[in-house]
Structure 1
Amino acid sequence: MAVPLISYLYRESGLLSVYSTGRDAWLVIFARSCRMFAYGSCSLILALFFAELHVSDEQIGLFMTLTQVGDVVMSLFLTLVADRIGRRRTLLGGATLMVLSGTTFALFDNFWVLLLAAVVGVISATGGDFGPFRAIEESTISELTDQRTRPDVLVWYVTMSTLGSAMGTVAAGRAVQWFHESRGWTLLAAYHVCFWLYAIMGGVTMLSSALLSDRCELQKDSRPSVDTEMEMEMEEEGEAFLGEADDSSVKRDPPKSTFAQISKQTRSVMYALWFLLMVDSLADGMVSMSLTAYYMDRKFSVTKSALGDIVSVGYFLAFLSTIFAGPLSRRIGLVNTMVFTHIPSSAAVLVFPYPQSVAATFALLLVRLGLNNMDQPPRTALIATVVKPEERTAVMGITGTLRTVASTVGPTVTGFLAGDDRFWIAFVVAGALRLAYDLGLFAMFINIELQHRHKPSPPQDAEGQALSRGDEHGRGH
């Protein structure tokens, strides 16, 4: 009884798909987990570090803004050229910048030196993955998987990164407390230790990137599409995002231009999705976790420890719920999974200001956090399905950039709406925007999976049976 149950859980949880995809997928997931560990530790201490340096609030605000601008610009540029210069080289270069930035913060205390290192390097000021890594890694996973295994592998890519971020936050807090209180170090010295840890995690990311095989690159082998006539029409249209496209219906040749090119048909699909995702990101920025914590503190005067505990429980629920995104996608589809798991989270944001008890408000917060990440793996899988393989890296990079830009506008909108003690309006507007995103996504994309616009024909064995990408390339090394 125990063996069949374990086998069932192993298969349904998606771990079988991760294993069969091979070593490259394991390395990508491991690298992001280490990176998010570093980002989580950095986000916890960064503002405290600058406060210990007696940096003004205005300069801290300038640092946060310029760091995010630098991350967005670098991310957009690198994702547009990654398939040309090589995904592994791009990831290796980004990890090198991460090491250099962490080392600079560990050795120097001058604000302008640190600002330069953050803008041209890779430092996460908010704990989010805004650098060049995520889009390239998601495109790489899409390259390594097929439509059957892709949602499962992306689920564990998101799940393990969430766990890494949480562990990094805990580790940084414990390390600072231990060095400062038990060893008698100054707070500044304890913070420097955390930045050394950041640099070490960057080194681990470098090593993981260096160990990736050429399977992670854009492949040039022949992969006829399901709808050859549609591909021929796309070739005739020939318009590109940054010039004339050179789409081939038979071979996925490397792009001839330095920058990635995006066909007219892909853009016709992505324009609508980009708009909806920007609406969702604007709403998330309006009621970010820091603003939500501030609102609850003002409304209920809850202790910081109680608030921290409930947020931690919420993130743990998100970790658990994301595991089920893969099995759910297989049963009800990618779009249905995105919509039906996100609607309860959106509704929780909409009604968040109405409860007058701490318990009811905390319950809504748990619903919001616990279900908020379940749409991420199917969203990436959906993009990988409707976008041509040679366009994935660029499209995912542009998607991340637009979402980041929209998110940064959110707090400004909240500040405008929250004047004269009307903070609750921001939650109502944000919840309504999130629900508009959910319903718009369902209305516009519910049938997109039936088209499989750029689905490659699966390779077959001698008996004509379809093989998975893991069977095609081997189960790893």
Structure 2
Amino acid sequence: MNSPVLSRLLCVRGLRAFADGYVSLLLPLYLLALGMQPLQVGMIATGTLLGSGVLTLLVGLYAHHFTYRLLLLMAALLMTATGFGFAAFTDFWPLLVIAIVGTLNPSSGDVSVFLPLEHAVLSGLVDERRRTAVFARYSLTAALAGALGALFAGAPDWIVATSRLDKKGALQAMFILYGVLGLASALIYSRLPREIGTDEHKASAAPLQKSKRVVYTLAALFSLDAFGGGFVVQSMIALWLFQKFQLSTTVAGEIFFWTGVLTAFSYLAANRIADRFGLVNTMVFTHLPSSLFLILIPLMPTLSLAIILLLARSALSQMDVPTRSSYIMAIVPREERAAAASITTVPRSLASALSPLLAGYLLGLSTFGWPLVIAGGLKITYDLLLLGMFRNIRPPEESGQKR
């Protein structure tokens, strides 16, 4: 394993997750403070996911013409421009444009152009036996940093109390910090070896060949899951909690801090469970109960019960993240990994892009929590289809494993 490279990638992943952790909670508050309606909040969240999907698709199609180092640097600089742009503009249409072309993430997970690039680099650093463990470590770093970011979402209240800034100015300062973290990420990327990931870049003009059918099938299934997940991106759950229970930013940050911590520990468990039961089984049988919890959350009569189910869901819902990433990298040829990562990521971003708009519309009509119910039903459907279609397609390290 190339430890310095891995350490730098994990460091940048932590910085980005920290930024996403607080921005995903503050985004709806910022937009509401600017006088926007829930539907407009949903439109901007949709714009971020739609833009990320298109940009990731372009990277998947043309990445083999550039080095990973250059692409990662460009993505980090785009992150910087996104943060400064959200701080500078306050009207709906300019913010929508910035959301579409930028890197803002309304979700607690990474749906940006960084993801397939870093996955392709990570998969080339280790052998097959250690790949799932490395992806789990990558996800663990993101979850812990994201949890701290969620806790940091209470910073605007402290800024207002200790400075002359009003709430709007304090929120704008948080987006400036997002841009600064993008600059820090670019600095770290600049220290990566210039030709890192060269082997994965030796792809033809048609990046997917041998694995085309299986990758497209997985992309379709992941799209169904992502469409459901788009209803419950962190910004939309936060908006529902703000509306339903009138939570303060600080309390919401504390809730999402603990959901992030539980998610982080679930990544550690995911690696052990996958070693015992296999990647696909781990993906499905941890995901199913979390989807049931999601359906039940709006039915809870009190905030305490809703939080308990939200925490229980968080302990299970993300175990499929490192296992899914490892599974994709395992079942496609080495030279097609970058394309496979992009082509399975892009439909997820595009499919999830419409959901926040619908969630914002539904939350504008009712505070019941219909987006959570719809998300749970779609995710259960995805789990059953994935199990039925892929439980017998095993990665090399499971070739002799009982399933």
- So what's the TM-score if we normalise by structure 2? 0.84
2:381 pairs with 1:436: yes
- Larger deviation: 317-326 or 421-430? 421-430
Relative distance call for 1:186 and 1:352 in structure 2 (3 A) is: closer
Instruction: Determine the C-alpha separation between the residues in 2 that align with 1:107 and 1:49.
Output: 13
Residue 35 of structure 1, CA deviation: 1.4
2:163 pairs with 1:183: yes
Where do residues 69-468 of structure 1 align in structure 2 (5 Å cutoff)? 69-106=50-87, 115-126=96-107, 128-174=109-155, 176-213=156-193, 216-219=196-199, 254-257=202-205, 261-263=207-209, 265-289=210-234, 291-292=236-237, 301=245, 303-304=247-248, 309-353=254-298, 356=301, 359-411=304-356, 423=368, 427-449=372-394
Q: Partner of 2:202: helix, strand, or coil?
A: coil
For 2:331, the aligned partner's letter is V
Relative distance call for 1:172 and 1:380 in structure 2 (3 A) is: same
For 1:267, the aligned partner's letter is K
Residue 140 of structure 1, CA deviation: 0.9
Instruction: Determine the C-alpha separation between the residues in 1 that align with 2:229 and 2:151.
Output: 24
**Structure 1 gap ranges (5+):** 1-19, 220-251, 454-477
For 1:96, the aligned partner's letter is L
Relative distance call for 1:444 and 1:21 in structure 2 (3 A) is: farther
**Paired residue for 1:24?**
5
Relative distance call for 1:179 and 1:359 in structure 2 (3 A) is: closer
In 2, are the aligned partners of 1:325 and 1:378 still within 8 Å (CA)?
yes
Residue 324 of structure 1, CA deviation: 1.6
Instruction: Determine the C-alpha separation between the residues in 2 that align with 1:60 and 1:287.
Output: 13
Residue 64 of structure 1, CA deviation: 3.8
Identity of aligned residues (%): 32
Residue 366 of structure 1, CA deviation: 1.9
**Structure 2 gap ranges (5+):** 399-403
Instruction: Determine the C-alpha separation between the residues in 1 that align with 2:336 and 2:229.
Output: 27
Q: Partner of 1:255: helix, strand, or coil?
A: coil
Instruction: Determine the C-alpha separation between the residues in 2 that align with 1:418 and 1:62.
Output: 13
For 1:331, the aligned partner's letter is R
Instruction: Determine the C-alpha separation between the residues in 2 that align with 1:155 and 1:28.
Output: 13
2:36 pairs with 1:36: no
In 2, are the aligned partners of 1:281 and 1:406 still within 8 Å (CA)?
yes
Relative distance call for 1:290 and 1:52 in structure 2 (3 A) is: closer
Q: Partner of 2:129: helix, strand, or coil?
A: coil
Where do residues 42-81 of structure 1 align in structure 2 (5 Å cutoff)? 42-53=23-34, 62-81=43-62
State the Cα RMSD in Å. 3.5
Instruction: Determine the C-alpha separation between the residues in 2 that align with 1:180 and 1:422.
Output: 29
More helix per residue: 1 or 2? 2
Residue 280 of structure 1, CA deviation: 1.5
In 1, are the aligned partners of 2:31 and 2:41 still within 8 Å (CA)?
yes
Instruction: Determine the C-alpha separation between the residues in 2 that align with 1:396 and 1:431.
Output: 25
- Larger deviation: 62-71 or 310-319? 62-71
Instruction: Determine the C-alpha separation between the residues in 1 that align with 2:338 and 2:201.
Output: 15
Instruction: Determine the C-alpha separation between the residues in 2 that align with 1:286 and 1:158.
Output: 22
- Per-residue CA deviations over 1:288-338 (Å, capped at 9, x if unaligned) read 455556666777x47556665444322221111212212222222211221
Relative distance call for 1:128 and 1:449 in structure 2 (3 A) is: closer
Instruction: Determine the C-alpha separation between the residues in 1 that align with 2:254 and 2:75.
Output: 34
Relative distance call for 1:215 and 1:336 in structure 2 (3 A) is: farther
Structure number with greater Rg is 1
Residue 89 of structure 1, CA deviation: 0.8
Relative distance call for 1:49 and 1:340 in structure 2 (3 A) is: closer
- Larger deviation: 366-375 or 115-124? 115-124
Relative distance call for 1:149 and 1:404 in structure 2 (3 A) is: same
Residue 96 of structure 1, CA deviation: 1.5
- Per-residue CA deviations over 1:243-302 (Å, capped at 9, x if unaligned) read xxxxxxxxx772343xx5211x41211232222212222222234455556666777x47
- Larger deviation: 163-172 or 82-91? 163-172
Instruction: Determine the C-alpha separation between the residues in 2 that align with 1:177 and 1:418.
Output: 25
- Larger deviation: 307-316 or 68-77? 307-316
Relative distance call for 1:415 and 1:68 in structure 2 (3 A) is: closer
In 2, are the aligned partners of 1:99 and 1:199 still within 8 Å (CA)?
yes
